[in-house]
């Protein structure tokens, strides 16, 4: 039988169940991008908030493109299992996700949820490219943005969904709202706010002014390694659960969430949940982005070339590990002198080596052009301008280019910011070279 409210009582006793009746939970959160990371991270924090007695924080999860996840969750009454991978794995059923929708199939339902007076938070994990950015601003030439300007009530982009939902919210009375980006994007809250305001200005300048006053977009940083679910991980979960779970996820034990102290309207008691509320998210986010995320990209492109499939295999490769150690010591740390790079890398290296986690390098390597623009290019530029080493970071970019060779010189140039490409030494270093012989 399948996990659901009707079968929840049959879950094996060693599996932690919701400490409340999910039927009694009120939806107060809309989440855009209901993939594995959200279900393994933010939803767990909100599940804890509900377990503490605050029943306002049930979630509507929105699949932005495909219906698979939403349909799997709907068939299970929103219930799913989180497997925490450690020396001894643990399993927990999450009850916080109360509804699941697919944006292309039900845009009106999604916009109605955003407009509802009971909705107080919107969170997003739509990946970096889901923000439709060009440089520092919204890309008005992006096909999704063009579509959203001409079909505002059937939006495709995250910014389009927010603008359309906020337009309905304003028309219905305009309760304040907090919108929290949880993607690996520098200044994620500020950039999301700027994108939403830019799109709203094109639609209705009055709406843009209302958003400026009624909606908060705090910056945030999230950290938890969440490998993609596999047939093997689902089989493990089903065996322990005693039921079939088509929406289970896996994650490491470590988890962090840092949010800037800028909220509009009600919010959970974040600090009691282990969330860090601060006036300065930038330091935590820069460490995560330029150390953990950058190292993940380095292991992905360099490790795949050496025949590795998983992060733990790549970090166990003595040559690769030594290259990563040197990269952090000689290039990343000098570019971030105010941050504790060495200590953070030591902890991150140990997390990468977790023998229970099968984190696929090809999964990490997806959307590489955008990820590298956030994770490595700013440090390459800073070091080049200061006369510091860049060879290790450039080697990562070269490995990416060997795996995804550009069609021509114009396509190659398009991958890089103008200030990087205009440096003749960097431009020569970024010209693709033949793939070296494998060890």
pLDDT of residue 153: 95
Q: Beta strand 177-181 with 215-216: parallel, antiparallel or unpaired?
A: parallel
Adjacent-strand bridge partners of 278: 260
Question: How many whole angstroms separate alpha carbon 259 and alpha carbon 405?
Answer: 38
Nearest alpha-carbon partner for 359 in 253, 257, 250 = 250
**CB burial string 358-397: b at 16+ within 10 A, e below:** bbbbeebbeebebbbbbbbbbbbbebbeeeeebebbbbbb
pLDDT of residue 437: 36
Q: How far is CA 9 from CA 21, 26, 65, 72, 247, in A?
A: 11, 21, 33, 20, 18
pLDDT of residue 136: 79
CATH of domain 283-429: 1.10.1040.10
Residue 68 contacts residue 100 (beta carbons within 8 Å): no
Q: How many CB atoms lie within 10 A of CB 176?
A: 14
User: Cα-flanking dihedrals φ and ψ of residue 376, to 5°?
Assistant: -120, -40
User: Cα-flanking dihedrals φ and ψ of residue 142, to 5°?
Assistant: -70, 135
pLDDT of residue 433: 57
Spans of all domains in the chain: 8-280, 283-429
Nearest alpha-carbon partner for 125 in 63, 77, 210 = 63
pLDDT of residue 438: 37
Q: Mark the ranges of the chain whose per-residue pLDDT is less than 70.
A: 433-439
pLDDT of residue 339: 96
Q: What is the 3-state secondary structure (H, E, C) of the chain?
A: CECCCCCHHHCCCCCECCCCCHHHCCEEEEEECCCHHHHHCHHHHHHHHHHCCCCCCEEEEEECCCCHHHHHHHHCCCCEEEEEECCCCEEEEECCEEEEEECCCCHHHHHHHHHCCCCCEEEECCCHHHHCEECCEECCCCHHHHHHHHCCCCCCCHHHHHHHHHHHHHHCCCCCEEEEECCCCCCHHHHHHHHHHHHHHHHCHHHHHHHHHHEECCCEEEECCCCCCCHHHHHHHHHHHCCECCCCEEEECCCEEEEECCCCCCCCCHHHHCCEEECCCHHHHHHHHHHHHHHHHHHHHHHHHCCCCEHHHHHCCHHHHHHHHHHHHHHHHHHCCCCCHHHHHHHHHHHHCCCCCCCEHHHHCCCHHHHHHHHCHHHHHHHHHHCCCCHHHHHHHHHHHHHCCCCCHHHHHHCCCHHHHCCHHHHHHCCCCCCCCCC
pLDDT of residue 435: 41
Q: Specify whether domain 8-280 bears CATH 3.30.70.3290.
A: no
pLDDT of residue 174: 85
Asked if the domains at 8-280 and 283-429 fall in one CATH topology, the answer is no
pLDDT of residue 87: 85
């Amino acid at each position: 039988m399948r996990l659901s409210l009707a079968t929840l009582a049959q879950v094996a006793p060693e599996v932690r169940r919701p400490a409340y009746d999910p039927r009694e939970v009120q939806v107060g959160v809309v989440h855009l991008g209901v993939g594995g990371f959200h279900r393994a991270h933010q939803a767990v924090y909100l599940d804890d908030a509900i377990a503490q007695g605050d029943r306002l924080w049930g979630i509507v999860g929105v699949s932005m493109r495909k219906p698979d996840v939403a349909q799997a969750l709907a068939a299970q009454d929103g219930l799913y299992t989180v497997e925490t991978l450690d020396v001894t794995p643990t399993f927990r059923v999450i009850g916080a996700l109360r509804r699941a929708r697919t944006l292309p199939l039900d845009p009106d339902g999604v916009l109605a949820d955003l407009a509802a007076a009971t909705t107080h938070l919107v969170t997003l994990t739509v990946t970096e490219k889901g923000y439709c950015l060009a440089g520092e601003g919204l890309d008005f030439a992006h096909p999704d943005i063009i579509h959203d300007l001409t079909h505002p009530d059937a939006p495709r982009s995250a910014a389009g969904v927010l603008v359309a939902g906020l337009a309905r919210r304003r028309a219905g009375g305009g309760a304040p709202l907090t919108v929290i980006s949880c993607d690996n994007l520098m200044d994620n809250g500020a950039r999301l706010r700027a994108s939403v305001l830019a799109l709203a200005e094109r639609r209705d300048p009055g709406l843009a002014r209302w958003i400026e006053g009624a909606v908060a977009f705090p910056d945030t940083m999230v950290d938890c390694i969440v490998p993609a679910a596999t047939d093997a991980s689902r089989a493990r979960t089903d065996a322990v659960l005693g039921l079939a779970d088509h929406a289970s996820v896996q994650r490491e034990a470590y988890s962090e969430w840092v949010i800037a102290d800028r909220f509009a309207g009600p919010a959970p008691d974040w600090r009691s949940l282990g969330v860090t509320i601060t006036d300065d998210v930038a330091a935590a986010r820069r460490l995560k982005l330029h150390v953990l995320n950058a190292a993940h990209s380095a292991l992905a492109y360099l490790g795949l070339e050496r025949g590795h499939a998983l992060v733990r295999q790549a970090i166990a490769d003595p040559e690769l590990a030594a290259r990563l150690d040197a990269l952090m010591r000689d290039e990343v740390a000098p570019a971030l002198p105010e941050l504790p790079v060495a200590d953070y890398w030591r902890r991150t290296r140990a997390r990468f080596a977790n023998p229970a986690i099968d984190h696929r390098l090809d999964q990490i390597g997806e959307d590489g052009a955008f990820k590298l623009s956030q994770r490595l290019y700013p440090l390459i530029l800073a070091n080049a301008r200061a006369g510091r080493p860049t060879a290790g970071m450039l080697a990562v970019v070269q490995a990416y280019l060997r795996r995804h060779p550009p069609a021509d010189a114009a396509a190659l140039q398009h991958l890089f910011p103008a200030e990087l490409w205009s440096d003749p030494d960097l431009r020569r270093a970024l010209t693709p070279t033949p793939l070296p012989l494998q060890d």
